[in-house]
Amino acid sequence: MKRRTYINVLTVFVAVLGLTGCSDFLDESDPSNFTEDEYFTEPHHARSSVNAIYASMRDPMNSGFGGATWSMLEFATGLAATDLGQAVDSYFVKDLNNTSDNGYSLTYWTSYYEGIANANLSIQKIPGITMDEKEKKRLLGEAYFLRAWYYFNLVRIFGHIPLITEPVSSVQSEDLRPSQATPEEVYNQIVEDLKTVESAGLPWSDTSGKVSLGAVKSLLAKVYLTMAGHPLQKGSEYYALAAEKAEEVIASGEFKLFENYDALHDPAYKNIGENIFMIQYQTQILPSDWQIFIIPYNKNISAYSAETGGIYATQDFVNSYEPNDLRAEENQFFFTKFTHQDDRSQEVDLGAYFIYKHLDLEAQLSTGNSDLNWSLIRYADVLLVYAEASNEVNGPTTAAYEAVNAVRSRAGLPDLENLSKDQLREAVWKERWYELCFENTTWFDMVRLQKAFNVTTKQFDDFVGHSFSYGPTLGERELLFPIPTSEILNNPNLVQNTGY
């Protein structure tokens, strides 16, 4: 049975955006002069309504002295630290003292359900618009993909959640207070949506940042990999499906690893090469504001006036990289030194391992206005999905080794070879921890595997009972985040996750 739900602020359209070029996701217009039925009458209404769905992706990225929602998924790994004392929500997660009053969870919940509401509206209304049928199909494909993307994140963060597939038509509707679907029901909807999009006629890649077939198949591979593990534990059949979809992306030849890590944080490489799907930003129009969150606290190194010290890697994690791993060297994934803002010949010791892989250098050195996108799916992830999934089905194969070794080769590491299935499994897990750190991926891996990387032993512990290097120990409740208090109070049909 399909369900509807409420969101805190019901909106017909949110941030309806412009129609052409790079500003597709950025130029906002005011739809307040339109009713719902009046708006969905022209082909450009279809385009702008779909553009509005993308907007909710940016909300968790908003950063400042109060914290940053996206950091929640990093502090939950035990691999991140902070100097931002007033960002109490960061400490609640980091020290495993989290509660349902945490504002980070609330932002994820409300923003992503807002995105889902806009997707549902587009999916319902676009079929009735007279327009080119191929373009209509592609737009509907984008809407279905984005709905799947939001649900994939929500179900992994919160577990049992409301499943909404139609717009809510009245503020008086009983559908505003739904019960929760099971995770399996949500995953089945995600897969159904993504399968629909596979035949939507989308191009393999899209340099403007719109949903592409490469993004669809990559996300489907990640969904199948997750379904193979916890909580559904569907096992080998779904590992095979994950490997199949990842292999399709690899075989397409549309994507490739960047030659060096500088390209990961160079705005010139937005939406091309390794970057399969990204959150879109544009300098001077809608700049990426997480830059201030990753700047060391008040070290006077940046063109930005705010330097929050909001997040950085623990030294124990960086020290756990293999010897000679390029990713752990200065100015690769991390940095411990930078030049002073008033004298670029003067070097400042930062005192910790800050995140260089996300640092927009031009913005830091001169503009204070970043043009950098945030990568949601990159090709390195797809290669590692393939290596892990195919190994689970067929054991070590030449193709599995080629996939993981491509990632290791760029890091300056020797090829893996002559490993058992169990050995290759953990070797690929390690590559995921090292390669995809601080990209909102590691905690999701921890939950689906119910494993955590021990930076001291360099082995994998069971999730429950694993102790972070700075003390706190994970319990079963940390496998999910709490449903926000306000949602529980407003909807008596919601049941809080265990332990909160």
Question: Rounded distance, CA 449 to CA 429, Å?
Answer: 9
Q: What average pLDDT does this structure show over 430-447?
A: 98
Q: What average pLDDT does this structure show over 470-487?
A: 98
Query: What are the tokens at 289?
Result: 């504001």
DSSP 281-299: -BTTTB--GGGGGGS-TT-
Residue ranges of domains in the chain, CATH in brackets: 1-67+96-201 (1.25.40.890), 289-370 (no CATH)
Q: Which pLDDT value is given to residue 12?
A: 34
Angle of helix 379-394 relative to helix 421-435, nearest 10 degrees? 170
Q: Which pLDDT value is given to residue 10?
A: 31
pLDDT of 33 over the 60 cut: no
Q: Tell which residue, 384, 354, 359, 365, has the closest CA to residue 449.
A: 384
Question: Rounded distance, CA 176 to CA 173, Å?
Answer: 6
Global model pTM greater than 0.85: yes
Q: What average pLDDT does this structure show over 308-333?
A: 98
Question: Rounded distance, CA 368 to CA 303, Å?
Answer: 5
Q: Which pLDDT value is given to residue 168?
A: 83
pLDDT of 18 over the 80 cut: no
Place of tokens 């599995």: 400
Query: What are the tokens at 109?
Result: 């919940």
Q: In b/e form, how buried is each residue of 71-93, taking b as 16+ CB within 10 angstroms?
A: bbbbbbbbbbbbbbeebebbbbb
